[in-house]
Amino acid sequence: MKKNNPNTRIIDLTLGELLDAVEERVKATLAGKPQADDKKKRYVYGLKGLAKLFGCSKTTASRIKTSGKIDKAITQIGALLIIDADLALSLAGKQEATDNTQK
């Protein structure tokens, strides 16, 4: 594989040289970039989404929200609630476990 001058016009390259240059550039770009994490964050939106996540009514979801147990998982912008689903489940689970040990 011949190293081309970066100032070479594309019209002056053969198809093979162009493909080699593109492949080299893609490999260099991917080598410098960390791979995306397989586990992406899940979000639910609003009280309806929170109720669906916990398997309860919207009234109970509202009570859970106002109790403060999952405040770290909630971002509120105006009337829009954005809830990190995994964090909310873990926070609710930890709180429930500590409530059971105190009885």
CB atoms within 10 A of CB 81: 19
With cut-offs at 50, 70 and 90, classify the pLDDT of residue 27: confident
In terms of pLDDT, which residue wins out, 23 or 94? Answer: 23
Distance CA 39, CA 63 (A): 29
In this predicted model, what pLDDT tens digit does every residue of 44-85 receive, in sequence order? 999 999 999 999 999 999 999 999 999 999 999 998 999 999
Q: Are 50 and 88 in contact (CB under 8 A)?
A: yes
Q: Determine the pLDDT at residue 30.
A: 81
**pTM metric for this prediction:** 0.55
